Amino acid sequence: MAATLFQGLGVVTPSFSSSHSNKFMLSSLSERKDGIFVVRSDADARILKTGARKHELLVTNAVATKGASSAASTSKSGSGHELLLFEALREGLEEEMERDPCVCVMGEDVGHYGGSYKVTKGLAPKFGDLRVLDTPIAENAFMGMGIGAAMTGLRPVVEGMNMGFLLLAFNQISNNCGMLHYTSGGQFKIPIVIRGPGGVGRQLGAEHSQRLESYFQSIPGIQMVACSTPYNAKGLMKAAIRSENPVILFEHVLLYNLKERIPDEEYVLSLEEAEMVRPGEHVTILTYSRMRYHVMQAAKTLVNKGYDPEVIDIRSLKPFDLHTIGNSVKKTHRVLIVEECMRTGGIGASLTAAITENFHDHLDAPIVCLSSQDVPTPYAGTLEEWAVVQPAQIVTAVEQLCQ
């Protein structure tokens, strides 16, 4: 089976509760496909108790601070069930559709076909064609329909078959999705989730290897998160659906077949918190999505060389969790940013600016940012590898930073 995968802020108070609390019977998902390629993720499984943290209004300077630490417990063995990342996304979506009848799905082939990566498989027979709506190949149209549905009180989850296709809906996302709450004087909320696969795959060519984080980060009113493990994929999906803000959930096309044990108990993650993947003392490495695994591969080499890197999956691309990031910078005094996004105007550039503005006095060396080359993603496999950051480059960068 060929695996093809993957800041203006909202001005509404984020909420982990919907206006509807109807409970439905939850049937467990037991779908598996023979011959599927399975990879273990490196993440710890944790349960973040809903309501353990009070959420503040989103700030307007493209950063987030943490008011209180979240209560979390660890569940690594014994309890829980194993899911692939795309199955974890489906489970989170299905649970929210059962919990709240206002949650609906729309997009190309999301219905009886089950989505191009099977995230919505089985939902159309269960919830019906009106809640799992197949749309024409008209991104601008069905994105506008989703935004209009959100304005009337529904909670649509709009799938872009490929994130690159959402450029056709950029006007709707920018001028309507992100701004209507403000331009209506607070009369309308836009609780919509925009999700789909993106990132550099395996020889998918330039148009199907888009990294659009940098395109959307400048739109006021939009939150952005990127999942990287089955655990955080489900938790972020549920949080995004319950949020009163429009949320873009980035999924990497090469991570859908990651496998991990996740808790049986319900959990919802914060949309504004980074994840400490590996504590360390010598250098802070900030990353997200697929690059998390390149960084962790490089970390093994670095440890063997005597370095102790601290690895943080920022997860929240907008706003940044500057509480977690700042505490790490104050400890290590060195920062390396690793991203798959383009170098010019990318997430790394915004993160560099935010760290420089807030923690300049704590830095003992200039911030280093490793990004993809500013070129269309080549089709040839060898050239594709050259265009994206590789683990060896991360090792070299840390060695130079720590000299």
List of residues 6+ apart from 262 with CB closer than 8 A = 45, 80, 81, 82, 83, 88, 230, 231, 234
Mean pLDDT of 118-135: 95
Look at residues 243, 263, 283 and tell me which one is the last residue of a structural domain: 263
Using CA atoms, how far apart are residues 164 and 55, in angstroms rounded to an integer? 32
Tell me, yes or no, whether 314 lies in a domain. yes
| Higher-pLDDT residue of 204, 276 | 276
pLDDT score at 207: 82
| Type and span of the H or E element at 87 | helix 85-99
pLDDT mean across residues, the chain: 83
Domain CATH for 312: 3.40.50.920
Tell me, yes or no, whether 68 lies in a domain. no
360 is catalytic: no
Tell me, yes or no, whether 44 lies in a domain. no
pLDDT score at 52: 36
User: Does residue 58 register a pLDDT over 70?
Assistant: no
Using CA atoms, how far apart are residues 93 and 244, in angstroms rounded to an integer? 16
Considering only 61-65, 82-86, 185-189, 216-220, which range has the smallest mean pLDDT? 61-65
| Higher-pLDDT residue of 3, 135 | 135
Tell me, yes or no, whether 58 lies in a domain. no
Tell me, yes or no, whether 18 lies in a domain. no
User: Does residue 91 register a pLDDT over 90?
Assistant: yes
Tell me, yes or no, whether 337 lies in a domain. yes
Which residue range(s) make up the domain with 136?
81-263
Look at residues 202, 236, 263 and tell me which one is the last residue of a structural domain: 263
- pLDDT band of residue 105 (cuts 50, 70, 90) is very high
Look at residues 225, 242, 263 and tell me which one is the last residue of a structural domain: 263
Q: What share of the chain is helix, strand, coil (3-state, %, to 5)?
A: 35, 20, 50
- pLDDT band of residue 270 (cuts 50, 70, 90) is very high
Give the pTM. 0.81
Same domain, 281 and 147: no
pLDDT score at 77: 47
| Higher-pLDDT residue of 242, 11 | 242
* Active-site choice (181, 208, 252, 282): 208
139 is catalytic: yes
The Cβ-side half-sphere exposure at 238, using a 13 Å CA radius, reads 23
User: Does residue 10 register a pLDDT over 90?
Assistant: no
- Measured CA distances, 327 to 194, 319, 334, 352, 362 (Å): 31, 17, 12, 15, 10
Mean pLDDT of 154-173: 93
Tell me, yes or no, whether 388 lies in a domain. yes
Task: Kindly state the percentage of the chain with pLDDT values over 90.
Answer: 70
Domain CATH for 235: 3.40.50.970
- List pLDDT tens digits, range 184-205: 999 999 999 999 999 998 888 8
- Residue 353, phi then psi, degrees to nearest 5: -65, -45
| Higher-pLDDT residue of 74, 55 | 74
Using CA atoms, how far apart are residues 297 and 119, in angstroms rounded to an integer? 28
pLDDT score at 202: 83
pLDDT score at 367: 97
Tell me, yes or no, whether 9 lies in a domain. no
Same domain, 192 and 290: no
Same domain, 246 and 300: no
User: Does residue 276 register a pLDDT over 50?
Assistant: yes
Same domain, 240 and 284: no
Same domain, 108 and 170: yes
Same domain, 281 and 383: yes
pLDDT score at 402: 92
List of residues 6+ apart from 87 with CB closer than 8 A = 29, 31, 230
Same domain, 104 and 222: yes
pLDDT score at 312: 98
- Say whether the peptide bond before residue 279 is cis (omega within 30 degrees of 0): no
Same domain, 353 and 248: no
Give yes or no for a contact between 124 and 105, defined as CB atoms under 8 angstroms apart: no
User: Does residue 75 register a pLDDT over 70?
Assistant: no
Total number of domains in the chain: 2
User: Does residue 130 register a pLDDT over 60?
Assistant: yes
pLDDT score at 78: 55
| Type and span of the H or E element at 328 | helix 322-332
Mean pLDDT of 167-175: 94
* Active-site choice (87, 95, 139, 339): 139
pLDDT score at 381: 87
- pLDDT band of residue 83 (cuts 50, 70, 90) is very high
Give yes or no for a contact between 221 and 8, defined as CB atoms under 8 angstroms apart: yes
- List pLDDT tens digits, range 381-390: 899 889 999 9
